[in-house]
Structure 1
Amino acid sequence: MSDPVIHVEPLTAEAFAPFGQVIELAGAQHYPINNGMTERYHDLARVELGGVHARPLISIFRGQPYALPLYLDLVERHPLGSQAFYPLSEHPFLVIVAHDLSGTPDRPHAFRTEPGQGINIAMNTWHGVLTPLEAASDFLVVDRGGDGVNLQEYHFETPYLVRKA
């Protein structure tokens, strides 16, 4: 393994594009509905559902806060569906993702969200666990339910140290 330190970078749509989509209202297509009393921000992320008898799940996850620096020894992926996380608070969270190298994760990338940003992790993308920063936080989560094994975990032999830039 090369340098075991991962520096956290700001979350942008361009930097995150290889791993999925950033979910945010800024710049999103929107239009009024309900007699002009509601603004619909439309089609913010691509929900992916693979396999037989798949269905989307909508859940709330409540995560306890982590402090930086932290050691990253585990990532996971979902080979049969995407997984979206949208925070229900203004607290930032850490997003850790990695490209796939023939069934194992490549060197991870770490992103810090800004208020109003969520993410949709593309199907089969290696990622860290839910990592709220600063305070316990609730997240609206959209992912896949149904038949098939939709969780694979990978433990790094040598943990990475994730720290602020």
Structure 2
Amino acid sequence: MRADPMRRVVAEPLTSEGFAEFGEVVEHGGDARRRHLSLPFAHAAPACRPAMWVSRVDAALAWPCPVVLLERHPHSSQTFIPLDNAPYLVAVAPDGADGAPDLSRLRAFIACGSQGVCYRAGVWHQGLSVLRAPAQFAVAMTLADDGNDEFLELAASVDIVPPGFSR
């Protein structure tokens, strides 16, 4: 599905309930000492090698934030955990009937610096977009020898705005 070039999506605060369709929010909740996560190393063949690295983002986004490129990892979940308490934007879209992202259902969330995200395998998402830079994230996923990334440049961008944005 193609996006209307004037389409805007208002970002909402990241919550486990709001994000559940796309993955898990990495944060602790409740009284238990530990909260076990089910998705961080979930994968399908041929992904098999666990990998972890640190990514650095040197530039903060500007509002409105255009979504022009989405990516997904069909064989692996992918987890991002902020290392320096930097808030960031999470933009996700489910598959449409044709397997491309359904941009009419694109959602955007603002993650506080104490929340990580774990995308389910195959979820279309925007690359790291931080609200304060520089920022560093621990990234974990499993890798496949024959590639693990799909990128899609959008024919028309969707602009993401924060709550209350007017321009």
TM-score range, shorter chain: 0.7 to 0.9
CA contact 2:88–2:113 (8 Å) conserved in 1: no
Match of 2:94 among 85, 91, 99: 99
Deviation at 1:28, TM superposition (A): 7.2
- Aligned-pair identity in percent equals 32
Per-residue deviation, residues 83-140 of structure 1 (Å, max 9, x unmatched): 0000011110000100001211012211001231000000000000011112211111
**Contact 1:62 / 1:137 at 8 angstroms: preserved in 2?**
yes
1:45: how far off?
A: 4.1
Paired residues, number: 155
The equivalent residue for 2:36 is 43
2:61 — aligned with what? 66
Q: TM-score, normalised by structure 2?
A: 0.86
Q: From the two aligned structures, give the one with the greater strand fraction.
A: 1
Q: Does the alignment pair 1:154 with 2:152?
A: yes
- Supply the distance in 2 between the matched residues of 1:148 and 1:43 (Cα, whole angstroms): 30
8 A Cα contact 2:47 2:142, kept in partner? no
> Of 3, 12, 16, which aligns to 2:15?
12
Contact 1:53 1:146 in 2 (8 A): yes
Shift of 1:26: 2.6
Gaps of 5+ in 1: 31-40
Q: Name the larger-Rg structure.
A: 1
Is there any run of 5+ residues in structure 2 with no aligned partner, and where? none
With over 3 angstroms needed to count, the CA separation of the structure-2 counterparts of 1:28 and 1:70, relative to structure 1, is farther
Query: What is the TM-score normalised by the length of structure 1?
Result: 0.87
The superposition leaves residues 1-39 of structure 1 with CA deviations (integer Å, 9 ceiling, x where unpaired) of 456111111000000000000000233742xxxxxxxxx
**Separation (CA, whole Å) in 2 of partners of 1:147 and 1:91:** 32
Amino acid at match of 2:63: L
Q: Which 4+ stretches in 1 moved above 3 angstroms? A: none
Q: Give me the whole-angstrom Cα distance separating, in 1, the residues matched to 2:161 and 2:65.
A: 7
How far did residue 52 of structure 1 move? 3.3
> Is it true that 1:114 corresponds to 2:108 in the alignment?
no
